[in-house]
Amino acid sequence: MGEGGTSGWIDNVNANNGTLDISNVTTLSPSIKALDGTSNTILGQKTLTLSNANSTFGNNYAEVMSGTGGLIIAAGTQILSGQNTYTGATSIGSGVHLTLGDGGTSGFIGNTASIANDGELTINHSDKVTLHGAISEAGRLNHRSAAARPSSQAIIVTRAARELPPAFCRLMVISPARSLAVRA
């Protein structure tokens, strides 16, 4: 990435049936504008920054992002509809919208990944979703579902009770009869 230095970017990445491997790049936080497609991404220990996720290019990443690295969404709107297993932190910038899922039962981040939410996090699932990582900052958490019979506990946050700020009470439940359970 870049021109022989330790930083750089790629304008847009639409990888289908291939692999985007950033695990060996020399910068700690490689940056691309947007991520779309059906190709695996190997983070290794790196944190991938999406500098301008947008729907013009495409923003529905449907495969697996793996590794101990994390994801920063600095601007725009990103959908993660794959079964991501990365275990590093996820950071949602101010004014940014991250959606997990596309209305079905897939689309999540790794079980130990924490979420720093300064924007908006939407869970778009027809089933129950458990977020094991801590959620912090003052962003919004939404749940959207087209399920005819939603589960009684749509979103369960297992490690967030002590780290959620007062602003978390701005929870918006988009689908009727959805609920949030917070467990210490």
pLDDT score recorded for residue 162: 36
pLDDT tens per residue, range 97-149: 999 998 888 888 877 678 899 999 988 888 877 777 778 877 888 877 665 44
Residues 136, 20: Cα–Cα separation, whole Å: 29
E-strand stretches of 30-145:
31-32, 35-44, 48-50, 60-61, 65-67, 71-73, 77-80, 90-92, 97-100, 115-117, 120-124, 129-131, 135-136, 140-144
Model's pTM, two decimal places?
Answer: 0.77
Ranges of residues in the chain with a pLDDT under 50 are 1-13, 148-152, 160-184
